[in-house]
Amino acid sequence: MHTERIAEALASAMNHLESSMKALANQNENAVGDLVWRAAAETEYALFLFTLSHHGESTSSTKHSSTAKQTEVGAALTSAQDLLIEAKESLSVGSVEEAYEKAWDARGCILGVWDMLEKKRKSASKAGAATPP
């Protein structure tokens, strides 16, 4: 079983989210985007390892509760980090299905943050292009 590697990937994703919150507080949007992307990658890797470990068991993404749509980057980052903490705790007590569900929900939050950052970046570039020299 890949439990140790899953736990490491979840911990790495949590660390990237923590760093992204610090970058957000420092208004370093480029760093926030990079760190969110890395957190997403680590979360996807953890989910991949879950599916490898439990190929015969049900880990269908259709069963997962949808998290409320966050409208602020900071709140969504906090939600994602909380879900990853819960996933790691569930994994440590052997509740693999619950850990998978929490990680899946965290993935949704992280991708939501990425979408918010991209929309913000695109609107900023449009505003900059619309301003005459």
HSE, side-chain direction, 13 A CA sphere, residue 50: 28
Between CA 65 and CA 81 the distance in angstroms is: 17
Given this model, what pLDDT does residue 104 score?
97
Residues 6 or more apart in contact with residue 67 via CB below 8 angstroms: 79, 83, 105, 108, 109
Would you say 6 and 91 are in contact if contact means Cβ atoms under 8 Å apart? yes
pTM of the model: 0.83
Between CA 45 and CA 26 the distance in angstroms is: 28
Domains in the chain: ranges and CATH: 3-125 (1.20.120)
Ordered per-residue pLDDT tens for the chain, 133 residues: 589 999 999 999 999 999 999 999 999 989 999 999 999 999 999 999 999 987 655 555 544 454 556 679 999 999 999 999 999 999 999 999 999 999 999 999 999 999 999 998 888 887 766 555 5
Given this model, what pLDDT does residue 57 score?
56
